[in-house]
């Protein structure tokens, strides 16, 4: 940034001419590209997988088995397209599951309305008020 | 959220979570629309419930005992897997869609130790090693292992002398890895079964080394699932 910019009110993003090659690269970074980022040591633990997670994994694999998508497309949807907040905030299999939901809608296999109605129906069926 | 004390979980409300509802909805819609069949899902689930780290441990044990087999392991991990009962083409006929069919076995030497990560996601040789531990999936391990490998290994209790080079292998979508450590002292005359027992999942990822008398992964606190998966 040049010093003249610091005297102006803050902008939501740098001026186009302020994005040099290095900054451009930074903005192109995808949420899942975390290798080498700094972080602090944490206590390691084992975590039992939830049944819904295991089932979501199988659903994703079946969608690929039968040609609805390929693993690269799944990875893009679950690791890149979600954005940073969802990438870091959702459980591992939560991202698999969201990607599966998205491919059904994106490929017009179901409409968003169908999906929402189905979720409501499932919740009612399983006793959620 | 599950409580953290390890005893049996007693849910306060009898209702399904948002993830559970979405999982059921997506699966049922996919089946209703004919994208795959309930039988496909059942068949893949059965496959997924039966994979685990034992075949990979046996592969290393066999290689320790048989130099010819070891050569095969280093040349063609997929072919070598057959000898320990793992056919990478299962269960679809072309393998699991997400694991591909390329397994590299990384041989440790007195001056070289391997450890595996997947910095971009959590690629892992599922057909021969089962499902990843959660710590392998989270950003912390992926961020730090490539930057401070010795420190991260030390956190797993593996302190390597400076003369041993640490090589971090970054898995990718097309290629999966297991570590073949050196056969530890004190295992002379052991059978394949005995050697298989000490080749734990942690040893195959490379965060620990096999040791006579140690047949389980590093003891870590366990966070239990509300409704645990069967694998």
Which B residues, 100 through 129, put their C-beta within 8 Å of a C-beta on chain A? 100, 117, 119-122
- The pLDDT assigned to B100 comes to 83
**Nearest residue in B to A50, CA atom:** B228
Q: Are B41 and B59 within one domain?
A: no
Query: Do B37 and B124 share a domain, yes or no?
Result: no
On whether residue B90 sits in a domain, the answer given is yes
B28 and B104 inside one domain = no
Query: Which residues, at least 6 apart from B190, have a Cβ–Cβ distance to it below 8 Å?
Result: none
Which residue in chain A is spatially nearest to B45 when comparing CA positions? A58
Give me the residues of B, 53-72, that contact A with CB < 8 A: none
The residue segments making up the domain with residue B132 are 52-205
Domain map of chain A by residue range?
70-125
pLDDT band at B101 (very low <50, low <70, confident <90, very high): confident
Tell me the chain A residues in contact with residue B156 when contact means C-beta distances shorter than 8 Å: 44
Q: What is the pLDDT of residues B30-84, one digit of tens each?
A: 999 999 999 999 999 999 999 999 999 999 999 999 999 999 999 999 999 999 9
What's the CATH class of domain A70-125?
Answer: mainly alpha
d(CA B91, CA B211): 34
Same-domain pairing of B152 and B83: yes
- With CA atoms as reference, the chain A residue closest to B4 would be A47
Mean pLDDT, all residues of chain B:
94
CB pairs under 8 A between A and B: 211
Distance CA A76, CA B188 (A): 48
- Asked if B228's CB is within 8 angstroms of A39's CB, the reply is no
- Dist. CA B87–CA B35, nearest whole Å: 26
Instruction: Please give the pLDDT value at position A60.
Output: 98
Distance from CA of B225 to the nearest CA of A (A): 5
For B143, the closest of A35, A62, A66 (CB atoms) is: A35
- Asked whether the beta carbons of residue A104 and residue B225 sit closer than 8 angstroms, the reply is no
Q: Any alpha helices (H) in B33-85, and if so which ranges?
A: 38-49, 54-65, 67-75, 77-82
Q: Which of B73, B81, B123, B171 is catalytic?
A: B123
Q: What is the largest CA-CA distance in chain A?
A: 62
Other CB atoms within a 10 A radius of the CB of residue A84 amount to 11
pLDDT band at B12 (very low <50, low <70, confident <90, very high): low
Q: Look at residue B109 and give its three-state secondary structure.
A: strand
Nearest to B119 among A34, A41, A121 (CB): A34
Report the alpha-carbon distance of residue B198 to residue B192 in Å, rounded: 10
Dist CA B129 CA B127 (whole Å): 6
What's the whole-number average pLDDT of chain A? 92
State whether B39 and B151 are in the same domain: no
Residues B44 and B87 in one domain: no
**Residue pointed to by tokens 């002398």:** B161
B140/A39 CB distance under 8 A: yes
Distance of CA B113 to the CA centre of its chain: 18
Q: Is there a single domain that holds both residue B189 and residue B86?
A: yes
By C-alpha distance, the chain B residue nearest A105 is B26
Same domain? For B29 and B56 the reply is no
What's the pLDDT tens digit per position in B190-199? 999 999 999 9
Measured CA to CA in angstroms, residue B183 lies from B25, B41, B134, B211 at distances of 49, 40, 27, 9
- pLDDT higher than threshold 70 for residue B129: yes
Residues B95 and B154 in one domain: yes
Q: Is residue B4 part of a domain?
A: no
Do B23 and B102 have their domain in common? no
Active site residue B203: no
Burial (CB count <10 Å: 0-12, 13-18, 19+), residue B143: buried
What's the CATH number where B87 sits? 3.90.330.10
Q: Is residue B217 part of a domain?
A: no
Interface test with B, best of A33, A57, A67 (most B CBs within 10 A): A57
Q: How far apart (Å, rounded) are the C-alpha atoms in residues B115 and B106?
A: 9
Which tokens in the block code for residue A90? 């959702």
DSSP-based helix, strand, coil % in chain A, nearest 5: 60, 0, 40
Report how far residue A50's alpha carbon sits from residue A34's, in angstroms, rounded to the nearest whole number.
25
Give the contacts of B185 (CB within 8 A, at least 6 positions apart): none
My answer on whether B42 and B101 are in the same domain is: no
ipTM of this predicted complex?
0.92
Q: Judge if B91 and B137 occupy the same domain.
A: yes
Report the alpha-carbon distance of residue B201 to residue B152 in Å, rounded: 17
* Residue B147 to residue A38, Cβ atoms within 8 A: yes
Per-residue model confidence (pLDDT) at position B1: 40
Active-site residue identified among A15, A57, A92, A93: A92
What tens digit of pLDDT does each residue of A19-78 get?
Answer: 999 989 988 999 999 999 999 999 999 999 999 999 999 999 999 999 999 999 999 999
Tokens for B109? 């030497």
> Could you tell me which of A5, A29, A8, A35 has the C-alpha nearest to residue A17?
A5
Confidence of residue B14 (pLDDT cuts 50, 70, 90): low
């Amino acid at each position: 940034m040049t010093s003249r910019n610091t005297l102006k009110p803050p902008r939501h993003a740098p001026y186009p001419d302020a994005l040099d090659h290095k900054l451009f690269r930074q903005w192109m970074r995808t949420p899942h590209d975390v290798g080498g980022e700094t972080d602090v040591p944490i206590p390691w633990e084992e975590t039992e997988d939830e049944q819904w997670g295991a089932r979501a994994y199988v659903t994703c694999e079946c969608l690929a088995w039968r040609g609805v998508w390929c693993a690269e497309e799944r990875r893009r949807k679950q690791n890149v397209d979600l954005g940073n907040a969802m990438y870091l905030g959702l459980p591992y299999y939560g991202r698999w599951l969201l990607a599966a939901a998205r491919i059904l809608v994106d490929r017009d296999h179901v409409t968003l309305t169908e999906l929402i109605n189905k979720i409501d129906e499932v919740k009612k069926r399983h006793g959620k008020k | 959220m599950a409580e953290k004390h390890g005893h049996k979980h007693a849910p306060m409300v009898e209702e399904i979570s948002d993830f559970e509802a979405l999982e059921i909805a997506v699966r049922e819609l996919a089946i209703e629309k004919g994208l795959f069949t309930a039988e496909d899902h059942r068949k893949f689930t059965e496959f997924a419930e039966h994979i685990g780290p034992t075949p990979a441990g046996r592969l290393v044990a066999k290689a320790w005992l048989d130099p010819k087999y070891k050569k095969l392991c280093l040349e063609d991990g997929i072919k070598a897997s057959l000898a320990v009962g793992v056919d990478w083409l299962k269960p679809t006929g072309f393998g699991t869609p997400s694991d591909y069919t390329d397994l590299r076995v990384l041989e440790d030497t007195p001056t070289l130790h391997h450890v595996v990560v997947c910095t971009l996601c959590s690629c892992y040789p599922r057909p021969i090693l089962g499902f990843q531990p959660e710590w392998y999936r989270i950003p912390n391990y992926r961020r730090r292992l490539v930057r401070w490998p010795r420190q991260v290994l030390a956190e797993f209790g593996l302190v390597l002398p400076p003369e041993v080079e640490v090589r971090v292998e970054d898995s990718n979508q097309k290629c999966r890895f297991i570590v073949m450590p050196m056969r530890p002292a004190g295992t002379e005359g052991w059978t394949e079964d005995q050697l298989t027992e000490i080749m734990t999942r942690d040893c195959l990822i490379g965060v620990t080394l096999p040791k006579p008398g140690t047949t389980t992964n590093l003891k870590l606190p366990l966070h239990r699932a509300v409704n645990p998966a069967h694998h």
